[in-house]
Amino acid sequence: PDTDQRGAFLVAERLRRAAHRSFADQPQGVTISFGVAVYPEHGDDLRSLMRAADRALYAAKDLGKDRTAIYSADVARVLARASGSRGGDMHLSPLMALAESLDVRDHGDALHSRTVGRYARMMAVELGLTPERVERVRLAGVLHDIGKIGVSDPLLVKTGPLDEKEWEELRTHPEIGAALLSRPELSDLREWVLSHHERPDGTGYPLRLGGESIPLEAKILAVADAYEAMTRDRVYRRALGDEAAQAELIAGSGSQFDGAVVASFLKALERERQAQLEATMVEGG
C-alpha cells in the first residue's frame, strides 16, 4: 500500500528473486511472474484494478514468463496482437511489439527504436561484421530501451532536469531490459542491451565497465542511441543539427564513446549522404 508503480515493481521483483532463492535446490526449477497495476492510474475501483493487474500478468507471461510487467493499455493491446501471429521468432515478436509501443508512449511515435536499429546496422556493416551478426545488432538496436517498461510514465515525459532519485530509477532500465531478454537464444542481445549505457572511461552504468570489457555491439548501440537522441526534437529541447551532433560524438570519443565505432558511424553517414545526393541528381536528370 501507499506506493507508486515503480515501488510496486521493485517489491514484485524482490519477491520473485526471493522465490528463486527458496527453490534453488529444486531440480525442476520454479518460475514466477507478476502483473502490477496501481490506483487510480490503472483503475478507479477494485474490479478495474484487478482486471488491469491480470492483463499485466498475461503480458509478463507473453514476454517469456518469470518476470514482472507494469500494466499499460497500449502494451497489453499490442502484445495481444503479436501473440496471435505466426512465423519467425515467437519470443522476439512480442518484444518487438513492446519496443514499438514504448516508443509511442515515450516519444509520440514508433521511430526512435527503429532508427537506432538502422544506425546500429550501418555501423555493424561498416565494421565488417557478418550478415548474421549485423542483423542481431539491428535487433538489439530496436530492443535497447524495452527496460523502460519498468520506469514510471511521469519520469519519462518530465520536461525539467532529473533529481538523483529519478536518475537512479532511470538507470535501472538496462537491467530490466536484460531481464526481459533472459531466454537462452537471446543471450547475445541480453548482454548488449545490458551494457549499452556503459562508457569506455568506466563511468557508465549499470556495471561501470570500461574499455574492452564492453562488448563491441553495446558500443555500437551507445553511439546509435546518442545520435538519434541528439538529432530528434524533445519536449524539453530542440534537436541538434547533424553536424553539431557529429561533433558531439567526436568530442566524446574515448570517454563516452568508442573512437573506432564513432569513426565507422561517421563514414557510414557520409556514404549515405553521398548516395542520397547522387540519387537526387539522377532524379533531377
**pLDDT digit string (tens) for 25-34?**
777 777 888 8
At residue 228 the predicted structure's pLDDT band, cuts being 50, 70 and 90, is: very high
C-alpha cell read off for 46: 477494485
Per the model's pLDDT, the better-predicted residue between 225 and 37 turns out to be: 225
Q: What CATH number is given for 88-284 in this structure? A: 1.10.3210.10
Contact at 8 Å (CB) between 200 and 258? yes
CA 274 – CA 150 distance, rounded (Å): 41
DSSP 8-state class, residue 99: H
Burial 1-34 (b: 16+ CB within 10 A, else e): eeeebbebbbebbeebeeeeeeeeeeeeeeebbb
Which tens digit of pLDDT belongs to each residue from 121-180? 999 999 999 999 999 999 999 999 988 887 877 777 777 788 888 898 889 999 988 988
C-alpha cell read off for 54: 491480470
pLDDT (mean) for 234-253: 88
Closest Cα partner for 97 from 116, 114, 122, 115? Answer: 114
In residues, how long is the chain?
A: 285
Is the confidence at residue 82, as pLDDT, over 60? no
pLDDT confidence of residue 16:
81
The DSSP result for 19-79, as a single string, is HHHHTTT-TT-----EEE--TTTS-SSHHHHHHHHHHHHHHHHHTTSSSEEE--HHHHHHH
Per the model's pLDDT, the better-predicted residue between 184 and 91 turns out to be: 184
Is the confidence at residue 78, as pLDDT, over 60? no
- Amino acid identity of residue 276, one-letter, is Q
Share of the chain above pLDDT 90, in %: 39
Is the confidence at residue 108, as pLDDT, over 90? no
Three-state DSSP class for residue 182: coil
Which tens digit of pLDDT belongs to each residue from 97-107? 778 777 776 76
Is the confidence at residue 246, as pLDDT, over 60? yes
pLDDT confidence of residue 180:
82
**Domain residue limits, the chain:** 1-71, 88-284
Helix (H) or strand (E) holding 88: none
> What's the whole-model pTM score?
0.72
Three-state DSSP class for residue 3: coil
Contact at 8 Å (CB) between 199 and 255? yes
Q: Is 206 exposed, middle or buried (0-12, 13-18, 19+ CB in 10 A)?
A: middle
Contact at 8 Å (CB) between 247 and 255? no
Closest Cα partner for 111 from 102, 122, 120? Answer: 102
CA 149 – CA 101 distance, rounded (Å): 10
Mean pLDDT, rounded, of the chain? 84
DSSP H helical ranges for 111-237: 111-126, 131-143, 153-156, 164-170, 173-180, 187-194, 216-230
pLDDT (mean) for 268-277: 91
pLDDT (mean) for 237-253: 92
pLDDT confidence of residue 85:
44
CA 233 – CA 160 distance, rounded (Å): 15
pLDDT (mean) for 209-217: 96
Is the confidence at residue 67, as pLDDT, over 70? yes
Helix (H) or strand (E) holding 106: helix 92-107
Per the model's pLDDT, the better-predicted residue between 162 and 269 turns out to be: 269
Is the confidence at residue 90, as pLDDT, over 60? no
Is the confidence at residue 70, as pLDDT, over 70? yes
